[in-house]
C-alpha cells in the first residue's frame, strides 16, 4: 500500500502531521529519521519516515514505528510470488544459497 493508504489504515489524520517538502532529498529523510519522532498511530519512536501528499493539507511527514510499518507494508512493484521467483533466479545465477520465509497465510492481497 502507499503512504496515503497506510495513514488511512492506521487512522492517522494528515492534518495532525508536520508539513514536509514535496520531494525530500535522502539526506532530509535521514535527518528526520534520526530525530525518531513519535509514530502518529501509536506514539512509539518512529523507525521510518516518508512523505504523504494529502489534497487538503499538502505534503506531510508520515513517520511510523516498526510495528505500524510492518502492519502497513509498501506495495511491491511486482506480485510477491514473481519477486520471489526472480530473487531465486538471481541467487542461483550467483550460486548463492537462498532460504525464504513467509507466514502461513502469505502476504496480504496475494
User: Across the chain, which distance is largest between two alpha carbons, in Å?
Assistant: 51
Q: pLDDT tens, position by position, for the chain (110 residues)?
A: 899 999 999 999 999 999 999 999 999 999 999 999 999 999 999 999 999 999 999 999 999 999 999 999 888 778 878 888 899 999 999 999 888 776 666 555 44
Residue 63: name the closest of 92, 87, 43 by CA: 43
pTM for this model (two decimals): 0.69
Q: How is residue 41 written as a grid cell?
A: 498511530
C-alpha distances (whole Å) from 12 to each of 39, 64, 85 are 10, 11, 35
For the CA atoms of 76, 32, 5, 87, what is the dihedral angle to 10 degrees?
10
Amino acid at each position: 500500500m502507499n503512504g496515503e493508504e497506510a495513514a488511512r489504515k492506521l487512522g492517522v489524520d494528515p492534518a495532525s502531521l508536520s508539513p514536509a517538502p514535496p520531494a525530500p532529498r535522502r539526506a532530509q529523510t535521514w535527518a528526520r529519521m534520526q530525530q525518531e519522532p513519535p509514530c502518529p498511530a501509536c506514539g512509539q519512536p518512529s523507525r521510518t519516515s516518508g512523505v504523504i501528499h494529502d489534497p487538503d493539507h499538502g505534503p506531510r511527514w508520515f513517520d511510523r514505528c516498526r510495528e505500524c510499518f510492518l502492519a502497513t507494508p509498501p506495495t511491491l512493484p511486482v506480485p510477491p510470488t514473481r519477486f520471489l521467483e526472480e530473487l531465486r533466479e538471481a541467487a542461483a545465477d550467483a550460486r548463492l544459497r537462498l532460504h525464504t520465509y513467509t507466514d502461513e497465510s502469505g502476504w496480504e492481497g496475494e
